[in-house]
Amino acid sequence: MVLDRIQQLAHQFTATIPPPHPFDPLSTTEIDTAVSIVRAQHGNLNFNAVSLYEPRKAQMMAWLKEPSTASRPMRAADVVAIDASGKVYDGVVDLGEKRIVSWKHTEGVQPLITMEDLQEVEHIVRKDERVIEQCGILGIPREDMGKVYCDPWTIGYDERFGTGFRLQQALMYYRPSVDESQYTYPLDFCPIYNAQTKKIIHIDIPSVRRPLSKAPPNSYHPEAIEREGGFRKDLKPIHITQPEGVSFKINNRIIDWQNWNIHVGFNYREGIVLNNITFNDKGTVRPVFYRLSLAEMVVPYGNPEHPHQRKHAFDLGEYGGGYMTNSLSLGCDCKGAIHYMDAAFVNKAGASTIIKNAICIHEEDAGILFKHTDFRDESMVVTRGRKLIISHIFTAANYEYCVYWIFHQDGTVQLDIKLTGILNTYSLNPGEDTNGWGTEVYPGVNAHNHQHLFCLRVDPNIDGPNNTVFQVDATRGPGEAGSAENKYGNAFFAKKTKYTTPREAMSDYDGNTGRTWEIANTNKLNEYSKKPVCYKLVSREVPPFLPKPGGLAWKRAGFARHAVHVTKYDDEQLYPAGRHVPQTSGDPSQGLPAWIEEAEASSSNSIDNTDIVLWHTFGLTHFPSPEDFPIMPAEPMTVLLRPRNFFTRNPALDVPPSFARTPSQAAKGVDACGCKKRSEGESVLV
Amino acid sequence: MVLDRIQQLAHQFTATIPPPHPFDPLSTTEIDTAVSIVRAQHGNLNFNAVSLYEPRKAQMMAWLKEPSTASRPMRAADVVAIDASGKVYDGVVDLGEKRIVSWKHTEGVQPLITMEDLQEVEHIVRKDERVIEQCGILGIPREDMGKVYCDPWTIGYDERFGTGFRLQQALMYYRPSVDESQYTYPLDFCPIYNAQTKKIIHIDIPSVRRPLSKAPPNSYHPEAIEREGGFRKDLKPIHITQPEGVSFKINNRIIDWQNWNIHVGFNYREGIVLNNITFNDKGTVRPVFYRLSLAEMVVPYGNPEHPHQRKHAFDLGEYGGGYMTNSLSLGCDCKGAIHYMDAAFVNKAGASTIIKNAICIHEEDAGILFKHTDFRDESMVVTRGRKLIISHIFTAANYEYCVYWIFHQDGTVQLDIKLTGILNTYSLNPGEDTNGWGTEVYPGVNAHNHQHLFCLRVDPNIDGPNNTVFQVDATRGPGEAGSAENKYGNAFFAKKTKYTTPREAMSDYDGNTGRTWEIANTNKLNEYSKKPVCYKLVSREVPPFLPKPGGLAWKRAGFARHAVHVTKYDDEQLYPAGRHVPQTSGDPSQGLPAWIEEAEASSSNSIDNTDIVLWHTFGLTHFPSPEDFPIMPAEPMTVLLRPRNFFTRNPALDVPPSFARTPSQAAKGVDACGCKKRSEGESVLV
């Protein structure tokens, strides 16, 4: 009967509003529909995820080409559910036909830990007698158990417990009072929590104990700052306003801005997903990317002492960058005129939920776009740039990741990530040596060395889906200085190496050649340069994955072994560490290594001039210091995708200049289009 | 008599205004005084530079410590002059004592080419019969010689002509009309100009001739854009205003902002020079850098064909980043409330001149400074950052360099350089192969491969002048995965290598270890981490210098052979390619290689815990593409100097938050300090 009612409602909707775009995330109504359909057939289940089952690419490409005549791709939900006995089900629900397309019990996997899963552990930990006992040993009396907190990570993988039970490791902390930062008071033991039985099944206790630190709080909340002298008073306001509103148009989830056209999706896992990115090149709409997203990440910690090897969080695959997204209705994180989008999810009980203002879309001034002055006279042009920023911020327990997808007028796509939030901390006895695996950032607080490695998934569509990746190395020319061919020794060129198979494409960054990678369409040459049209991946924060071959994190995070992997496109290959990441052993490695092995074993392993996906792992290695504590100043990282030989000239020449004067105007003393002075010490450019 | 009059005036001044700060650039009055003193003794000369003779460091450090009691360092002018016969003189004039302290004829050198030197060549080239003949061969009739232009570079070095004559190479272009970009019409021959005789002494003519291109103009001026469809009309204004003014205080040339205190200098060579940079750490003024500047740069081009090897411009040492600085009174290049400073120079005739608004000082919003949300509740803090930017822009013939010195509230100093302007171009026949040494960016236009390598000079003062440099490499721990010491293979640490001699310190970037360099004060340990206080050099755009060992550019630009050099401080060692750069042969290499060889040959080569200078060469390799033409979208680069173990906590905790709510406030539903909404779609943070 519920289903009938939903169908009635759906019918009413379809009569009045157009159907969702095939790339649109599921609406709350669609999530509710999917849950009802599953429930009707499979009874009561806990829902882990109900998300858009993305349209198959072949169908979708046909529809994008001819939306009025091609058949609309199936609108479907991708469902992950867990039954009362802990069995995991993966299914697909056709929302048009209102039927389950596929449904299977998937053995030996654990789906990601949701916010609800995270929330429940702390309450149980506080009441567990063995935890209370451990707290007592460290100096925390039973009556203070309300001051004990935990960040309940997935267990990652622990060979003692395997994959059969759904487990979390509770990283333990203490707060002297509710508002003080717990990360100043890490506790030295680690309870293991079984989410199925809701019980602590084990506690890892170090051989050397570390009693609760007696150091005073080190906090960043306003009262703490007031206590220490108060906030600085010498910052004058900067106002950023757009009285005429924004320069972009949004049609549902499609943004049109400065020749760019972008569909903005969002899912529980990756957060923002950008689809069907095109650039209007003087009237010709040219495809650039079919899909861009952050597909996975891993944060390996460098302390080899047990059980710290378990700290290598896959924040996207194990928790969900979408699920952990901040609602920006709580505080405005951007300036200017902001357009927000909400995000819809399912909760464990099967009801749809909403994160208000999950995505922020806004413009920023981008400084000088180009400038040139003729040294002969006072002729000059200076043009300011503008950028469009599509962002979300997610909180992974202690850390914050701010993700900014930035579009430039010159055709560049930039991914910026800012790391902020709080260091993961462990306890240290007075005078204890960190052995170089961490830094004492405050008395009794050991912040371990770690890396943040992100996997950018680039599904290119450079003037069409058949693309090829080239490695580009700045290389010295042949012949030593003094030789006939290179008399003055100054010859150098861009050495390009084509990748023809996924194995060839497994490649690392080489700072010594300033290595970049070109995603090219070899079927189309630039009219002037006669080189293939391409987008170049420029990425400089590309540390090697520091866990050793054969080690736990190395096995589980196969995607991080190389800066670049290239695979042939496959609808099923979205997540480079696998679909279900918690408690994978890495034997065998899921995701990228498995796909590549499979491709290489088959005869269809060509990645030359075909539909491909490039996976780029980048990030940074963080050796903490006291400056990062008790809350870390944002540390930014940048990856660029730049058009090279894609346009026949700078595509932003028609952006109105701030000031332009030609030589003939300079000769006549004409002061051409210039900037308007509003008042002394304040200039406004239009 | 002139001198008497000046002394009278000077006396009047000293009676009313305080003496200049010892780091202040020379005023126009001081320049005029210096010229008069030199003229009185040495007669008529052409002046190449009259600039601050910087105070000797030992004296200056003493004065900075006790300005009221220590003796004030000598106020003096550093003079370079050329007599009618071409002899070069270097001298120092004591402006207090009004006397010449030193004066010598320097043999075998050529001082840099000034803007006046540059300006004169084009007029002579147009009238030279052999040039007219060459133009005729390419299809330009005699009556069109007014349409022929040249960018007169220094010759660099050409072994056929040596160093004895002051020479320029005229890179030739054509403009169909005065407003069209000449870089679309490069000419294939290259006249050599003798600045002494004001004559063309030679023309380099290629064996294969390339007639004038018949392609239509490719220009960026407003009329050209209007011709091609006009400017885009869909950009709405963004206003950035500071109604209460700036947050910094300026006392003469000393800026006080957000705990930073900086003296802003400027010279003809390096442009902006920042001195005596300190940070007020909760009431203690801590020295950080004695002096920061861009000290040199080189732009080697990669085409081995003669005479392109001569294209390896030292834009600072051969032309002067100060001399080429744009006056920002022509067009406002920054937004918000701007403070400008002028720059004073001497001209050839010995008169003082001024570039109005040479330096721009302003603040910008810096996005999120830090943020953390507690996943348990709706408690959260988000604080926006602010940055202070001290910038200048200089035009080196075709190219523009925008130099931004950025100070952050968290103690970070950032050097950003944006490259824009126009590619240096050479002619190409239809169908001619670039041989990989360049790219045809437009029909008939060959843009050669090149590098932009900058040398950042860091004179550190990390809690005092005695500092030490460590190389830091992210390194895997000992033991393979499975071993007792590294069972899970996850161990990694920061391997630190101390540099004890300049030779040891000659080091390259290693992307494979994410190499950074720490400038540390080993005499002072961080209270918490027990590690030496330091500033870390984080730089990722560090391509190797591509000219080969023994080649011309390699010999002349010794500083570019390594990413990092460290030398013991010496008052005389300011310019890493030497004091006079044009027409140096590189036999032997001037500047850094010579200093290091000298130090290593002596017994005083220790750079451990002493007064040192770190020289950092960074930049990028540019393989042009049509997108860069006819004017290049700005390409940014960043170098960071970050405090590590310098502070005992995040030094920006007291920046007022945009939004803060503690757990106890969240529990009570209190909406603590938050952001003010002004109107729909527009939020203003204070």
Q: How confident is the model at residue A685 (pLDDT cuts 50, 70, 90)?
A: very low
B177: number of Cβ within 10 Å: 10
- Pair A28, A166 in one domain: no
B315 is catalytic: yes
Q: Which residue has the tokens 């002298």?
A: A229
Q: Is the pLDDT score of B679 beyond 60? A: no
Please report the pLDDT score of residue A664 as a whole number: 95
Please report the pLDDT score of residue B670 as a whole number: 73
Three-state DSSP state, B258: coil
The stretch A506-517 carries a mean pLDDT of: 97
Condensed to tens digits (0 to 9), the pLDDT of residues B341-362 reads: 999 999 999 999 999 999 999 9
Please report the pLDDT score of residue A313 as a whole number: 97
Domain boundary among A80, A104, A128: A104
Domain boundary among A48, A75, A104: A104
Distance from CA of A368 to the nearest CA of B (A): 7
What is the maximal distance between C-alpha atoms in chain B? 89
Q: How confident is the model at residue A686 (pLDDT cuts 50, 70, 90)?
A: very low
Let me know if B249 is exposed, middle or buried by CB neighbors in 10 A (0-12, 13-18, 19+). Answer: exposed
Amino acid code (one letter) for A56: R
Q: Is the pLDDT score of B16 beyond 70? A: no
Nearest beta carbon to residue B437 from set A118, A228, A491: A491
Q: Which residue has the tokens 């009174």?
A: B329
Rounded Cα distance between B301 and A480, Å, is: 16
Rounded Cα distance between A471 and A500, Å, is: 11
Condensed to tens digits (0 to 9), the pLDDT of residues A256-270 reads: 999 999 999 999 999
List of residues 6+ apart from B414 with CB closer than 8 A: B387, B404, B405, B406, B407, B408, B638, B639, B640, B641
Three-state DSSP state, A15: helix
Please report the pLDDT score of residue A345 as a whole number: 98
- Domain of A415: which CATH number? 2.70.98.20
Does residue A658 lie within any of the structural domains?
A: no
Please report the pLDDT score of residue A346 as a whole number: 98
Strands B352-373 and B339-346: antiparallel
Does residue A232 lie within any of the structural domains?
A: no
End-to-end, the C-alpha distance of chain A in Å comes to 59
| Packing angle of the helix pair A2-16, A28-42 (nearest 10 deg) | 150
Rounded Cα distance between B428 and B432, Å, is: 6
Mutate to test the interface with B, among A488, A648, A682 (most CBs of B within 10 A): A488
- Pair B145, B186 in one domain: yes
Q: Is the pLDDT score of A680 beyond 90? A: no
Q: Comparing C-alpha atoms, which of B461, B426, B421, B451 is closest to residue B441?
A: B426
Record: contact A487-B220, CB cut-off 8 A = no
| Packing angle of the helix pair A129-138, A115-127 (nearest 10 deg) | 70
Q: Is the dihedral of CA A504, A289, A370, B242 positive or negative?
A: negative
List of residues 6+ apart from A18 with CB closer than 8 A: none
Q: Comparing C-alpha atoms, which of B654, B385, B375 is closest to residue A398?
A: B375
Please report the pLDDT score of residue B10 as a whole number: 55
State the catalytic residues of A.
315, 399
- Pair B75, B156 in one domain: no
Q: How far is CA B162 from CA B166, B547, B583, in A?
A: 9, 21, 7
Does residue B650 lie within any of the structural domains?
A: no
List of residues 6+ apart from A203 with CB closer than 8 A: A130, A131, A134, A189, A190, A191, A192
Rounded Cα distance between A450 and B491, Å, is: 10
List of residues 6+ apart from B65 with CB closer than 8 A: none
Mutate to test the interface with A, among B218, B238, B250 (most CBs of A within 10 A): B238
Give the bridge partners for A255, in sequence order.
A250, A262
Q: Which residue has the tokens 């850390």?
A: A399
Condensed to tens digits (0 to 9), the pLDDT of residues A411-463 reads: 999 999 999 999 999 999 999 999 999 999 999 999 999 999 999 999 999 99
Nearest beta carbon to residue A375 from set B395, B441, B511: B395
Q: Is the pLDDT score of A628 beyond 90? A: yes
- Pair A24, A58 in one domain: yes
Record: contact A631-B332, CB cut-off 8 A = no
The stretch A473-481 carries a mean pLDDT of: 97
Q: Are B90 and B106 in contact (CB under 8 A)?
A: yes
Q: Comparing C-alpha atoms, which of B123, B126, B130, B169 is closest to residue B426?
A: B169
Of A459-473, B604-618, B671-685, minimum mean pLDDT range: B671-685
Question: What residues of A are in contact with residue B650 (Cβ under 8 Å)?
Answer: 220, 627-633
Torsion angle in degrees (nearest 10) through CA of B125, B130, B134, B139: 80
B646: number of Cβ within 10 Å: 27
Q: How many domains does chain B have?
A: 3
Please report the pLDDT score of residue A684 as a whole number: 34
Condensed to tens digits (0 to 9), the pLDDT of residues B505-558 reads: 999 999 999 999 999 999 999 999 999 999 999 999 999 999 999 999 999 999
- Pair B82, B137 in one domain: no
Q: Is the pLDDT score of B399 beyond 60? A: yes
What ranges in A527-662 are assigned the alpha helix state H?
Answer: 552-556, 592-601
Q: Are A279 and A412 in contact (CB under 8 A)?
A: no
- Pair B56, B119 in one domain: no
| Packing angle of the helix pair B28-42, B2-16 (nearest 10 deg) | 150
Q: Is the pLDDT score of B2 beyond 70? A: no
Mutate to test the interface with B, among A113, A204, A372 (most CBs of B within 10 A): A372
Q: Is the pLDDT score of B239 beyond 90? A: yes
- Which pair of structure tokens corresponds to residue A419? 């790391």
B183 is catalytic: no
- Pair B318, B378 in one domain: yes
Residue B556 falls in which region: left (phi positive, over 0), alpha (psi -120 to 50) or beta: alpha
Q: Least CA distance to B399: which residue of chain A? A: A372
- Domain of A135: which CATH number? 3.10.450.40
What is the tally of helices (H) and strands (E) in chain A? 10, 34
Please report the pLDDT score of residue A118 as a whole number: 92
Record: contact B400-A654, CB cut-off 8 A = no
Question: What residues of A are in contact with residue B540 (Cβ under 8 Å)?
Answer: 511, 540-541
Does residue A171 lie within any of the structural domains?
A: yes
Please report the pLDDT score of residue A676 as a whole number: 39
Rounded Cα distance between B312 and A60, Å, is: 51
List of residues 6+ apart from B370 with CB closer than 8 A: A220, A420, A421, A631, A632, A633, A634, B381, B382, B383, B650, B652
Q: How confident is the model at residue A165 (pLDDT cuts 50, 70, 90)?
A: very high
- Which pair of structure tokens corresponds to residue A599? 């491709």
Q: Which of B24, B128, B315, B628 is catalytic?
A: B315
Q: Comparing C-alpha atoms, which of A333, A353, A335 is closest to residue A343?
A: A353
Question: What residues of B are in contact with residue A656 (Cβ under 8 Å)?
Answer: 231-232, 235
Q: Comparing C-alpha atoms, which of B364, B363, B64, B405 is closest to residue B265?
A: B405
Peptide bond just before B588 cis, omega within 30 deg: yes
List of residues 6+ apart from B22 with CB closer than 8 A: B55, B60, B63, B72, B73, B75
Domain boundary among A55, A82, A104: A104
Record: contact A449-B494, CB cut-off 8 A = yes
Q: Is the pLDDT score of B427 beyond 70? A: yes
Mean of the per-residue pLDDT values of chain A = 94
Range of the domain at A84: 2-104
Q: Is the dihedral of CA A546, A548, A551, A555 positive or negative?
A: positive
- Pair A55, A131 in one domain: no
B233: number of Cβ within 10 Å: 7
Record: contact A242-B236, CB cut-off 8 A = yes
- Pair A281, A378 in one domain: yes
Rounded Cα distance between B379 and B666, Å, is: 5
DSSP letter for A116, please.
H
Rounded Cα distance between A572 and A566, Å, is: 15
Question: What residues of A are in contact with residue B627 (Cβ under 8 Å)?
Answer: 410-411, 642-647, 649-651
Rounded Cα distance between A651 and A411, Å, is: 7
Does residue B97 lie within any of the structural domains?
A: yes
Rounded Cα distance between B59 and A166, Å, is: 70
Record: contact B481-A551, CB cut-off 8 A = yes
Please report the pLDDT score of residue B22 as a whole number: 98
B68-B74-B79 Cα angle (round to 5): 150
Q: Are A296 and A579 in contact (CB under 8 A)?
A: no
DSSP per-residue codes, A214-244: -SPP---SHHHHHHTT-----PPP-EEE-TT
- Pair B188, B83 in one domain: no
Record: contact B386-A235, CB cut-off 8 A = yes
Rounded Cα distance between B525 and B460, Å, is: 17
Distance from CA of B306 to the nearest CA of A (A): 9
Please report the pLDDT score of residue B672 as a whole number: 52
Residue A458: enclosing H or E segment and its boundaries? strand A450-460
Nearest beta carbon to residue A528 from set B626, B631, B663: B626
Q: Is the pLDDT score of A5 beyond 80? A: no
The stretch A208-216 carries a mean pLDDT of: 98
B79: number of Cβ within 10 Å: 27
Q: Comparing C-alpha atoms, which of A14, A604, A586 is closest to residue A317?
A: A586
Record: contact B630-A646, CB cut-off 8 A = no
Amino acid code (one letter) for A322: G
Q: How many CB pairs under 8 A join A and B?
A: 583
Record: contact A651-B492, CB cut-off 8 A = no
- Pair A328, A388 in one domain: yes
B269-B274-B278 Cα angle (round to 5): 165
Does residue A666 lie within any of the structural domains?
A: no
Distance from CA of A61 to the nearest CA of B (A): 28
Question: What residues of A are in contact with residue B123 (Cβ under 8 Å)?
Answer: none
Does residue A371 lie within any of the structural domains?
A: yes
Does residue B270 lie within any of the structural domains?
A: yes
What ranges in B473-548 are assigned the alpha helix state H?
Answer: 502-505
Share of chain A above pLDDT 70, in %: 95
Distance from CA of A261 to the nearest CA of B (A): 14
Backbone torsions φ then ψ of B657, nearest 5 degrees: -75, 155
Distance from CA of B155 to the nearest CA of A (A): 15
Rounded Cα distance between B600 and A32, Å, is: 76
Nearest beta carbon to residue A650 from set B509, B547, B628: B628
Q: How confident is the model at residue A561 (pLDDT cuts 50, 70, 90)?
A: very high
Torsion angle in degrees (nearest 10) through CA of B260, B266, B271, B277: -20
Please report the pLDDT score of residue A334 as a whole number: 79
List of residues 6+ apart from B372 with CB closer than 8 A: A220, A395, A398, A400, A420, A421, A422, A631, B380, B381
- Which pair of structure tokens corresponds to residue A99? 């039927």
Three-state DSSP state, B667: helix
Question: What residues of A are in contact with residue B472 (Cβ under 8 Å)?
Answer: 623
Q: How confident is the model at residue B684 (pLDDT cuts 50, 70, 90)?
A: very low
- Pair A100, A122 in one domain: no
